[in-house]
Amino acid sequence: MQKSDVVIIGAGVSGLIAGIKLLQGGKSVNIIEKESEVGGQCRSERFSVKDDEYRFDYGGHRFITNNKELLDFVEEILGDNLLVSQRSSVILHKNRVYDYPLNLANLLKKAPFWLLFGAFIDTLKIFLKFTKPDDKSFESWIKSRFGKTLYDNFFAPYTHKLWGIKPSKLSADWAGQRISLLDLKDVFKRLLFKNKNSVRTYAKSYRYPKYGFGQLPLNMAKKFEELGGKIFVDTDVSAFEYDENRIKSVVTKDEVFEAKDIISTMPLNEMSSKLGYESGLKFRSLRFLCLALDMEDFSPYTWQYVSDFELLPTRIQEPKRRSSYMSPVSKSSIMLEIPCDKGDDIWNMDKEELLKIVKADLKELNFDIEDKIADSFVFETEHAYTLMDIKYKDNRDRAISHLNRFENLVIAGRQGTFRYIFLDTAMETGLMAAKMILGDSEITKDKIFNHRNEKEVIETKSVA
């Protein structure tokens, strides 16, 4: 039996920052982590090729915030190992490379005439208000703001590939919070009148740990343990003992944890299921195919978005563009993100078959690097993206309502709150959960669940 004031489920950055805050507030804290190491979605993997070491993150993480308190915390945790990096992104579409954000000269140079003409006609319809904003789905949101031409060529194939469902079945929320420009009117105003305001979801400068994003949770875990906290890795929650309105204990295979308060960052669908309610919420998974390259540079870009539906990856990342320490001197690497669902053909595909497909896709994209591949590695994450389908809001609300009946349970984190949010927002939910337990009466469970639920994301309003 392990007893403490608070039990935290999940040793990702949200759970760790909550634990640190609670320990500083005088509470005793145990953290339960399912995996063999801390970090959750913010881990980094290391692979060796002969005497060389390559590092890869679980996705495209970067640290951007407008929260001075949070920035000071991360700077303290990482010290001189917190770098300032510059983002450079492009869209790969039908063997053309388009700048991101949109650039008039690049569009005129690269886009075929029929695409430009179609976008121009769509813009006229929007300017003349023949087309009005429609927020029923992702498809209607994009078509009513960007027109059918750009939807059919850019948004629809990429979105279908990323989420695994038709855009007509996807909530408009994802578009409203993630699409950089408001509509085609905004695009053309920005291009024609050289609007200098930053694109609203696009911050070129960001903070990044020297040795990969996994360095942040590792350092946080060290601080947590220095403060007296305990982390139990390889410890999966099997059940809860609970009555009508309180959780009495957290049960794992080898141990029982008792605490007055519980913070969970466990995926919301799994948490609600273990407490007696099937939410219907789903996550989209990712496999990462990582290639160690015997070449100094793959490209000048941090991200390359692959919009063509018939090609397997959705994004190509070159880790050394974030930090030169992610690959050996004079060598590079790339990581290809491949969306899937746990248990499907792509999830179960062996590495060699996956590599064969990706090599062919890279050639299709005019990257003939087969003789430069020193080695390849594969890893995956089950809960990469919250699947924001048309029904997700109602399903999420019902799950939250069910969990809110447990007075001593607080939910936090990206997966825990089932939110497609930035890293700083996820960390803020952990801080809020800790402050609530420490007696901050202004913080409620609903405020944590819906923290930064504004339509306009905050990436460019940053002090980082």
Is 202 within 8 Å of 62 (Cβ atoms)?
Answer: no
Res 196 pLDDT > 60: no
* Claim to verify: residue 402 and residue 440 sit in the same structural domain: yes
In a domain, 308, yes or no: yes
How would residue 103 be classed by pLDDT, with cut points 50, 70 and 90?
low
Residue-wise pLDDT for 7-34, tens only, equals 999 999 999 999 999 999 999 999 999 9
* Claim to verify: residue 127 and residue 187 sit in the same structural domain: yes
In a domain, 110, yes or no: yes
Strand partners, 380: 287
Is 5 within 8 Å of 22 (Cβ atoms)?
Answer: yes
Strands 283-293 and 373-386: antiparallel
Closest CA to 271 of 253, 254, 247, 255: 247
In a domain, 67, yes or no: no
Give the residue carrying structure tokens 């030169």: 324
Tokens of 205: 């400068």
Residue 122 phi/psi, 5° resolution? -60, -40
* Claim to verify: residue 372 and residue 224 sit in the same structural domain: no
Strands 29-32 and 230-232: parallel
In a domain, 307, yes or no: yes
Count of CB atoms situated within 10 Å of the CB of 370: 12
Give the end of a domain, one of 341, 367, 386: 386
Res 224 pLDDT > 70: yes
Residue-wise pLDDT for 343-363, tens only, equals 999 999 999 999 999 999 999
Is 152 within 8 Å of 118 (Cβ atoms)?
Answer: no
In a domain, 221, yes or no: yes
* Claim to verify: residue 272 and residue 418 sit in the same structural domain: yes
Mean pLDDT over all residues of the chain? 91
Chain centre distance of CA 432:
20
Is there a cis peptide before residue 112, judged by omega within 30 degrees of 0?
no
**Distance separating alpha carbons of residues 108 and 92, to the nearest angstrom:** 16
Chain centre distance of CA 347:
19
CATH number, domain containing residue 329: 3.90.660.20
* Claim to verify: residue 245 and residue 337 sit in the same structural domain: no
How would residue 462 be classed by pLDDT, with cut points 50, 70 and 90?
very low
* Claim to verify: residue 310 and residue 373 sit in the same structural domain: yes
Give the end of a domain, one of 386, 405, 436: 386
* Claim to verify: residue 359 and residue 403 sit in the same structural domain: no
* Claim to verify: residue 300 and residue 180 sit in the same structural domain: no
CATH number, domain containing residue 112: 1.10.3110
Residue-wise pLDDT for 109-165, tens only, equals 889 999 989 988 988 888 787 778 888 999 999 898 888 998 999 899 999 999 999
Q: How many residues does the chain have?
A: 464
Give the end of a domain, one of 340, 356, 386: 386
Domain with 346, as residue range(s), is 283-386
In a domain, 364, yes or no: yes
Res 382 pLDDT > 80: yes
In a domain, 462, yes or no: no
Q: Which residue type occupies 209?
A: P
Q: Work out the average pLDDT over 172-196.
A: 61
Q: Work out the average pLDDT over 291-317.
A: 96
* Claim to verify: residue 145 and residue 187 sit in the same structural domain: yes
Q: ∠ CA 395-396-402 to the nearest 5 degrees? A: 95
DSSP state of 127: H
* Claim to verify: residue 393 and residue 277 sit in the same structural domain: yes
Q: Work out the average pLDDT over 236-263.
A: 96
Number of domains in the chain: 3
Q: Is the whole-model pTM more than 0.75?
A: yes
Res 42 pLDDT > 80: yes
Tokens of 145: 């703001």
How would residue 80 be classed by pLDDT, with cut points 50, 70 and 90?
very high
Is 141 within 8 Å of 135 (Cβ atoms)?
Answer: yes
Check residue 32 and give its pLDDT: 98
Closest CA to 265 of 153, 412, 87: 412
CATH number, domain containing residue 400: 3.50.50.60
How would residue 187 be classed by pLDDT, with cut points 50, 70 and 90?
low
* Claim to verify: residue 119 and residue 184 sit in the same structural domain: yes
* Claim to verify: residue 355 and residue 261 sit in the same structural domain: no
In a domain, 81, yes or no: no
